[in-house]
Amino acid sequence: MLDKKLQAYKKKERIPAVTPAQYKKEFSFLKEVDSLALVAVQNHIETAFRNHFRNRKQFKLPKFKKKKDKQSYATYNVHHSIKVDFERSLLYLPKLREGVKIELHRRFDGKIKSATVSRTKDDKYYASILVETEKHRNKVVEPKSRACGIDLGLGRFATVTNDFGSYKVRND
């Protein structure tokens, strides 16, 4: 999909709207892949091009990932295809019949929106799960002045300081 769009861009043609379904006949292995992960790739490519055309100085033209870099894929949670079993420490992803044993960083409550699975250069896997919650973890404090300093930390997520004092944002 990216190659087709980049070729059209270089030829100064109209950038085509391409979908993963167009490639499933040519590349049969795509039928084995989670279709929502393919849609996520399509959305990332569309967003990258949109950002580039909106602000060419800040956003460069999208490019292919290098094999030696961190590898990742994202998928959406449609029909509860992503689940976490906290008692047995298992993560269920689309197209996986059995859960994957995980080490949980923390528990969460709410509706799972998406998951991104990443593999680092040293062959460790991480899953980042986006969750929509009803209650907010950190209360919103209206600023009393326009100027403030923000210190990102390890013990706390951030410390915000202005003319009237400091507010600490928790890390949990």
The domain segmentation of the chain, as residue ranges, is 2-54, 71-132, 143-172
Query: Consecutive sets of 10 residues in the chain, 172 residues long: mean pLDDT of each?
Result: 94 92 91 91 94 93 85 91 94 90 90 93 90 77 74 86 81 74
- Note the pLDDT of residue 143: 62
> Cα–Cα distance between 123 and 91 in angstroms, integer?
18
Amino acid residing at 51: N
- Note the pLDDT of residue 120: 86
pTM, to two decimals: 0.70
> Cα–Cα distance between 47 and 63 in angstroms, integer?
13
Amino acid residing at 128: S
Contact 43, 53 (CB under 8 A): no
End-to-end CA distance of the chain: 38
Q: What are φ and ψ of residue 85, in 5° steps?
A: -100, 100
- Note the pLDDT of residue 164: 74
Query: Burial letters for 120-157: b for 16+ Cβ neighbours within 10 Å, e otherwise?
Result: eeeeeeebebeeeeeeeeeeeeeeeeeeeeeeeeeeee
Tokens of 130: 């986006």
- Note the pLDDT of residue 144: 62
Q: CA dist 17 to 24, 34, 51, Å?
A: 16, 21, 16
Task: DSSP letter for 124, please.
Answer: -
Q: What angle do CA 100, 73, 101 make, to 5 degrees?
A: 10
